[in-house]
């Protein structure tokens, strides 16, 4: 009898605890609901951050490994820089601001679905060197932009040809003993392109160096 009494004595507090818990859980849930509804703007902000985090991570991870240059579709004299993949298709994963150096001046270009528009329009035919750094490396391309009434036509200039053609001309001139005259003609052509078309020797050297690096 004493044992049964002790068991009953132990069960009674347990039943009271269970009863209190069953009564407290709805009350706790009601308090939590009230707090959430009272400060629901905090909940909306948290949910928005959780929703945007995957998109932000994609934008941060996307890098521009290659690009090309075309005239902007609006034909307002501005250029469109297009991020491309290994298949030379537009890389739509590139979004956000990316730093480019255009003729020695750094610009922040905003990419949307792999396409960005330069800030300044092109007023006449000129040489433009585009450079972009990514993941400890860099890529640069020299273009001649031909301006006509129909719009802008970009012509990519190979850095390898910038090395081979002058050396070949000088070699031929050396064989025919016209080295100094040929060198003078090349200097005159360069100064003309530099003065009228914006060609810079630094653009030629940097484009040639990058082309040699790509070979190794």
Q: What is the CATH number of the domain that holds 126?
A: 2.60.40
User: How confident is the model over 27-51, as pLDDT tens digits?
Assistant: 655 555 565 565 555 555 555 555 5
User: How confident is the model over 91-118, as pLDDT tens digits?
Assistant: 999 999 999 988 888 889 999 999 999 9
pLDDT above 90 covers a percentage of the chain that reads 18
How many domains does the structure of the chain reveal? 3
Say whether both 171 and 212 belong to one domain: yes
Domain that holds residue 210: 158-216
Final residue of a structural domain among 38, 60, 82: 60
pLDDT at 158 over 90: no
Say whether both 205 and 152 belong to one domain: no
Say whether both 107 and 166 belong to one domain: no
Final residue of a structural domain among 109, 141, 156: 156
Give me the phi and psi of 104, to 5 degrees please: 90, -5
Lowest-confidence pick of 125-129, 149-153, 204-208: 204-208
Which of 95 and 182 is assigned the larger pLDDT? 95
The pLDDT of residue 8: 41
Say whether both 33 and 80 belong to one domain: no
């Amino acid at each position: 009898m004493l044992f049964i009494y002790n068991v009953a004595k132990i069960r009674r507090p347990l039943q009271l605890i269970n009863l209190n818990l069953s009564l407290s859980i709805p009350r706790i849930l009601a308090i939590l609901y009230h707090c959430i509804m009272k400060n629901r703007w905090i909940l909306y902000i948290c949910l928005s951050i959780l929703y945007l985090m995957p998109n932000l991570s994609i934008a941060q991870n996307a890098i521009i490994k290659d690009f090309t240059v075309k005239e902007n579709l609006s034909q307002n004299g501005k250029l469109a820089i297009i991020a491309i993949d290994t298949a030379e298709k537009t890389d739509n994963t590139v979004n956000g601001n990316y730093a480019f150096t255009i003729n020695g001046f750094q610009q922040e270009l905003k990419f949307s679905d792999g396409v960005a528009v330069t800030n300044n329009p092109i007023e006449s035919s000129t040489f433009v060197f585009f450079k972009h750094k990514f993941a400890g490396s860099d890529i640069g391309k020299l273009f001649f932009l031909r301006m006509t009434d129909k719009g802008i036509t970009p012509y990519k200039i190979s850095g390898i040809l910038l090395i081979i053609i002058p050396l070949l001309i000088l070699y031929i001139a050396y064989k025919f003993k016209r080295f100094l005259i040929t060198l003078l003609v090349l200097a005159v052509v360069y100064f003309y392109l530099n003065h009228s078309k914006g060609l810079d020797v630094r653009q030629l050297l940097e484009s040639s160096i990058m082309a040699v690096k790509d070979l190794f």
